[in-house]
Amino acid sequence: MSTQRAILPAADARDFDAVPTLGEADRAALFDLPQAAKAHLNSLKKPVNQLVFIASYGYFRARGKFFEPVQFRLKDLQYIAQTYHLRGVLRNLSKPKMKTMLSSFGGATASRYRAKILELTGWRQPTSADWLTAQTHAKWQARKQSGQDTLFWSMLSFFDQNHWVIPSYGRLCELVAQSYGAVEDGLLSVLGEHINDSQANALMALLNTDEDGNTPLTLAKSLEQSEKTRKIQGAAKQLTHAQTLYDEVKPVLDQLNLTEQATHYYAHWVLKARPAQVRQLSDRRLAHLHLMAFTKYQYFKRVDHAMALILKSIQRARNTAANKAQELQLKGRSESLAAIGAVHQSQSRLAQVAQDLLGIAEDSRLSDAQKLQRIRSQLMDILLETEAVAGKSKAVAQYLEDSEDTAMLYAMLAEQAKGLHQRIGGLVRRLRFDPDTDDAPLLSALQAYQAGRPLPLAFLSKKERGIVEVDGAVCPDRLFMVLMIRFWEGIRGGTINLEEGFNYLHINRYLIDKAIWQSDRSSLLEAAQLTPWADGEHTLGNLSATLSKGYTDINQSIAEGSNGYLIARPDGRYRVKTPPLERGPTGYIGQRLKEEGKVAVLKILRDMEHAHPFLHLLKHQSAQKNTESDPQVLFAGLIALGCNIGVPAMADMSIGINENTLKTAVDQRFTNENLRAINQYLVDTIQALPLTRLYRVENNRLFSGSDGKKVTVSVDSVLANYAYKYYGQKRGVAVYSFVDEAQRLFHSTVISAADREAAYVLDGLMNNTSDIQRIHVTDTHGFTHALFGTAFLAGIGFAPRIKRVEEQVLSSFSAKKTLQGQGYRFLPGRLVKRQHILDQWDTMLRLVATIKLGYSSGSKIFNRLNTYSRHHPLYRALTEFGRIIKTHHILQYYQNLDLRQSIQKQLNLVELSNKFHDAVFWARGKVFHVAEQGEQEQQTLCRSIIQNAILLWNYLTLSTQALGLDDPDLKAEMFEQIRAGSVLTWGHVNFTGEYDFSKGRRAFTRFPLKRIAKLAVPEAPVKPTTDLAMG
């Protein structure tokens, strides 16, 4: 039992194996048998047999598992008997009689019913082979060390996705515990076998205290964020120290083979722990494991940090040189134009002189002596003018030379060389490059620079050779700047990669190991639900038929004039109109919520903790400390970070909160993993509420959207960038958030404002635990062709709103002339390059499996892949495949008004959620006052929790009000008003003022949760399933 309690809270553990509690709408949906099941039902003669079969079928649809008939709920049985007119059992529908009647069902009879239900639903009992597959998958997932509760839900999803009957709670816990235990025991065993005394002493030396009370461990936790030369030079020294320790323990790390996730898991405990806590670990091997992971983690983070500083410094030097070159060109333009005018005038004068001389020579009235005298006089005048123009000619020549942009630019770049060398030279020399490179001459030049040797010139292009030579000799400053710019381009383009770090590796380093992929391909494809796409030829054949039908349908609409929203342009393209969304009653929900009066944000958090406890998920980072913290302190922490107040100010403006206690709680419990768990819990809780049905768009799929919000950073931060449009003279980042149709904020992250948002779309969708298929919308910034292709294989319907969509080039498997010959007017612009796709099909599947199985994040892969040359085979194949999916999306977008309006509506919700962000994150100018990405994400997660808590409170309050309406017409009208509005409203919430955490002010609202769960809410008038291309 202790293992089970360690994975899920006791109440959740009990509910897992219990028959689900259903509301009226749930009963109507679950016990409505499909035709095949009704046929079998009619073959059963006894009403009681029919009752058990229907109940078993409905419960199985709800939970994917079977229950003993004696567990069936009386209200469900009454509903079934009345709905199906089972008169033979109606008189026995009392609890004692029903229990007696159902107790006889079991054994062979139960087995027959279950076998038939599995046959009808396409599920099966997991076989021995299936369990072996599940155990292998569990071990793969356990290696990520993301937490036993995360692994538990991951395995539950794995059984569900494979249509295997869900095992009992105890059996799943056993699988999780065994997998987790086996992985950690294996790591400790390897560690004990391979670590030597020198390495152990080097690790434990991190805990030694100097005379100032500091330890190397404490000093190693922070990264320098300033971009000043002296600070960067200090960062180079810190990188050197980290590299030395890493090299010492690397042989053991190679044996441990920690995944990136496992490295984060063990290292993050050290990041939050005090040195004394590490010393107190009873198993010294465990202390060594944590410190070794921390050594790798902080060294790799410093490598990435160094690379980011290098790239920004090179880019800054380029920008400075470009600006100076432009200023010089503008400054010299007026002088140069005057010189050009003088030379031009001189040239014109020469033509006139030539005509005068010719006239003198041909003038018969003049003697030869007179002619010579006049000619001599004219020539003297010309020579005098030439002396005056000579300087102007040199100015013109210099202007023409300076007009060569590259020459002027590199002249200015050369002036930046010394400063750039001083700034980043120490960092560049500490980097280690992957020998597997597409640009060996550049790698050789970089290695020569690192070693202090003369730079070889083989890496230079013919044009670059001309740039670096001045007066016939190589200019060292220009050569250095060319090398740095080529380095910048090589890192960003993937021709040069680092050997160590997290963010700048070769693309293959992020994917599932090739040897593992080749040996376990079938099981990996099955685990990632990619088996239907295993055959690339077959997949492309199906998509060819899909596109062919799409072109036929839209051209038929044009011919018949049945799509009145299509408008032909003079260039032969078509644009599409989308009428604005019908606006429903505005302000209704806000007014209903204000009936409760102004509600403090603290009270909302207390109400939600009482109704649906979530604070227990803020576990202490030390496994030995299972005691719960004071809830009031945790509430204070959420508000301090989520409202951007800050811990010290929160303590100052609060009653009953001590600053040291609050800081300790935030340090020890507010890990990003814990905060994500709370946010996911709130998201799942909202999803279970009947009122969310009012916002359903389609019956079997869930609409969601994402967009970025720019947030200024007030302190030095390497992640932050300048963007005058958004931040003025300051720098900032982007908070990228995901919202679904029920308005739940299910994922948020902080990214560089310079990054393309599209790289982060898959992160939010893969992190969400819902098994419902999605249609995800973004604006143009969230779309790339590669993302289209990956989303399709991942089973996601990707539906961006693309700006000027009519200018997109569409693809086809048939030649344009062929379609023109069929009389088509809506035509493709290019032919699909099938072979490019098929040559990389297996690698594409490997990439998608990597993301779906959590081996690496989509953002990490796409941030690396998006910088690659368009000629890179994998990038080219994904882009080509994505063009097919994009074409199908656009064909559907043009034809389906409902889809276009649903996309617009979802993007409106994301925009509204961003406004909600500002209302919650109200303090200190609504800007970040922390530098590191992890700290910014910590605040973002706390803000998301507050937003979702308010959303949940809104739903529960509206549900309670609906329960209070006895008149069905009034209730129906209320539901219509809610459907027309949005529960993303916060006008009734008071975020500011004094926060009173004293004992006398802890009242909370009691919501009728059982009645709310059974609230009869009519299903929304959902639209037909959108015909989007999706896996």
Query: Tens digit of pLDDT for each residue in 893-952?
Result: 999 999 999 999 999 999 999 999 999 999 999 999 999 999 999 999 999 999 999 999
Same-domain check for residues 460 and 335: yes
Q: What is the model's pLDDT at position 2? A: 35
Same-domain check for residues 347 and 496: yes
Same-domain check for residues 593 and 501: no
Kindly indicate the confidence band of residue 868, based on its pLDDT and cuts at 50, 70 and 90.
confident
Amino acid at 50: Q
Per-residue pLDDT of 569-614, as tens digits, reads 998 899 999 998 766 556 899 999 998 889 999 999 999 999 999 9
Q: Would residue 495 count as lying in a domain?
A: yes
Residue 759: partners with Cβ closer than 8 Å, 6 or more residues away: 858, 859, 862, 863, 866
Rounded average pLDDT over 432-458 = 95
DSSP 305-346: HHHHHHHHHHHHHHHHHHHHHHHHHHHHHHHHHHHHHHHHHH
Among candidate residues 404, 412, 400, the one with its CA nearest the CA of residue 327: 412
Residue 297 has pLDDT above 90, yes or no: yes
CA distance 662 to 659: 5
Q: Would residue 77 count as lying in a domain?
A: no
CA distance 72 to 30: 14
Q: Would residue 26 count as lying in a domain?
A: no
Residue 160 has pLDDT above 80, yes or no: yes
Same-domain check for residues 476 and 613: no
Same-domain check for residues 440 and 345: yes
Among candidate residues 852, 830, 833, the one with its CA nearest the CA of residue 841: 833
372's tokens: 């010579």
Among candidate residues 568, 740, 735, the one with its CA nearest the CA of residue 642: 735
Residue 312 has pLDDT above 90, yes or no: yes
Q: What is the DSSP letter of 924?
A: G
Residue 438 has pLDDT above 80, yes or no: yes
Cα–Cα distance list, 623 to 110, 174, 216 (Å): 43, 19, 24
Residue 768: partners with Cβ closer than 8 Å, 6 or more residues away: 680, 683, 738, 746, 747
Q: What is the model's pLDDT at position 242? A: 95
Q: Would residue 109 count as lying in a domain?
A: no
For helices 405-430 and 229-256, give the axis angle rounded to 10 degrees: 50
Q: What is the model's pLDDT at position 147? A: 73
Same-domain check for residues 486 and 381: yes
**Phi then psi for 774, rounded to 5 degrees?**
-115, 150
SS3 content of the chain, % helix, strand, coil (to 5): 65, 5, 30
1006's tokens: 């009691």
Residue 501 has pLDDT above 80, yes or no: yes
CA distance 697 to 1022: 5
Rounded average pLDDT over 492-520 = 93
Per-residue pLDDT of 722-750, as tens digits, reads 877 788 888 999 999 999 999 999 999 99
3-class DSSP assignment, residue 710 = strand
Spatial contact of 784 and 776, defined as CB atoms under 8 Å apart = no
Strand-pair partners of 567: 575
Per-residue pLDDT of 182-231, as tens digits, reads 888 999 999 999 999 999 999 999 998 877 778 888 878 888 888 899 99
Q: What is the model's pLDDT at position 3? A: 38
Kindly indicate the confidence band of residue 1, based on its pLDDT and cuts at 50, 70 and 90.
very low
The H-or-E segment that residue 283 falls in is none
Residue 516: partners with Cβ closer than 8 Å, 6 or more residues away: 524
Report the length, in residues, of the chain.
Answer: 1031
Domain final residue pick, 466, 484, 507: 507
Per-residue pLDDT of 76-121, as tens digits, reads 988 998 899 887 776 666 666 666 666 666 667 778 889 999 999 9
Same-domain check for residues 355 and 499: yes
* Separation of CA 608 from chain center: 28
Residue 353 has pLDDT above 50, yes or no: yes
Spatial contact of 705 and 776, defined as CB atoms under 8 Å apart = yes
Cα–Cα distance list, 372 to 89, 104, 375, 380 (Å): 137, 139, 5, 12
Residue scoring higher pLDDT (830 or 215): 830
Spatial contact of 236 and 427, defined as CB atoms under 8 Å apart = yes
Q: Would residue 17 count as lying in a domain?
A: no
**Phi then psi for 504, rounded to 5 degrees?**
-125, 40
Q: Which of 240-244, 362-366, 892-896 has the lowest mean pLDDT?
A: 362-366
Q: What is the DSSP letter of 198?
A: H
User: For a pLDDT cut of 70, what percent of the chain falls above it?
Assistant: 87
Residue 1002, CA atoms < 13 Å, CB-side half-sphere: 13
Cα four-point dihedral sign 617, 622, 623, 625: negative
Same-domain check for residues 599 and 500: no
Residue 275: partners with Cβ closer than 8 Å, 6 or more residues away: 206, 207, 209, 215, 217, 218
Rounded average pLDDT over 4-33 = 81
> Mean pLDDT score of the chain, rounded to an integer?
88
130's tokens: 């299936």
CA distance 1001 to 1009: 23
Residue 144: partners with Cβ closer than 8 Å, 6 or more residues away: 259, 261, 262, 265, 854
Residue 340 has pLDDT above 70, yes or no: no
Residue 1031 has pLDDT above 50, yes or no: no
Strand-pair partners of 124: 164
Residue 337 has pLDDT above 70, yes or no: no
Residue 50, CA atoms < 13 Å, CB-side half-sphere: 23
Q: Which of 238-252, 292-306, 341-355, 505-519 has the lowest mean pLDDT?
A: 341-355
3-class DSSP assignment, residue 643 = coil
Per-residue pLDDT of 811-829, as tens digits, reads 999 999 999 999 999 999 9
User: For a pLDDT cut of 90, what percent of the chain falls above it?
Assistant: 62
CA distance 31 to 56: 9
What residue numbers bound the domain in which 336 lies? 327-507
Count of domains for the chain: 2
Residue scoring higher pLDDT (177 or 332): 177
Q: What is the model's pLDDT at position 647? A: 96
Same-domain check for residues 488 and 623: no
Q: What is the model's pLDDT at position 532? A: 94
1030's tokens: 């999706």
Q: What is the model's pLDDT at position 740? A: 96
Same-domain check for residues 639 and 497: no
Q: Would residue 376 count as lying in a domain?
A: yes
Among candidate residues 696, 706, 601, the one with its CA nearest the CA of residue 986: 601
Same-domain check for residues 481 and 361: yes
Per-residue pLDDT of 41-65, as tens digits, reads 999 888 888 988 999 999 999 999 9
Same-domain check for residues 480 and 611: no
Residue 382 has pLDDT above 80, yes or no: no
Residue 354 sits at the vertex; the CA angle it makes with 350 and 360, to the nearest 5 degrees, is 140
**Phi then psi for 840, rounded to 5 degrees?**
-115, 10
CA distance 202 to 712: 41
Q: What is the model's pLDDT at position 327? A: 78
Domain final residue pick, 462, 480, 507: 507
Domain final residue pick, 480, 507, 534: 507
Q: Would residue 990 count as lying in a domain?
A: yes
DSSP 247-299: HHHHHHHHHH---HHHHHHHHHHHHHS-HHHHHT-SSHHHHHHHHHHHHHHHH
In which residue are the tokens 């990214």 written? 751
Q: Would residue 1026 count as lying in a domain?
A: no
Cα–Cα distance list, 566 to 556, 806, 896 (Å): 12, 11, 11
